[in-house]
Amino acid sequence: MVNQMKLEFLNRSENESFARVAVSAFITPLDPTVEELTEIKTAVSEAVSNAVIHAYKEDEKGLIQLECKVDSERRVIIIVSDHGVGIEDVSKAREPLYTSKPNEERSGMGFTVMESFMDKLEVVSGTDEGTRVTMLKKLDKAYGI
């Protein structure tokens, strides 16, 4: 690894924007394209939002961890994890339009969006064991180098 950072914050919806900005600031020295930066910010937003909405029981306060790593090959690895209720069926949860909270006007597109914007997406979860979402994106070559 060339550089890495780790944050931990409460499962509050306002922390989704904090996480998005923190990752953006962290990878800015790599000089990503506007498109790359937008895609990464969107994927982080979806992963953190999923953890805020689904990881813990209603009104339960819990922590979300965000890790971001970059390596010498300009790969950005982002890990969003929690110690919440977990996902019973990860394959089902990754299906487009699936939501475990249909009464709350959720689109069920979070994992689909993450998968479409990142080069690799891995979801590891278990009931009452929390969830770990790992995303990887390889950035294009730096401009002018």
Active site residues: 46, 50, 106
CA gap 49, 111 in Å, rounded: 11
CA gap 145, 136 in Å, rounded: 23
Contact 16, 50 (CB under 8 A): no
State the DSSP H helix or E strand holding residue 69, giving kind and residue range, or none if neither.
strand 63-70
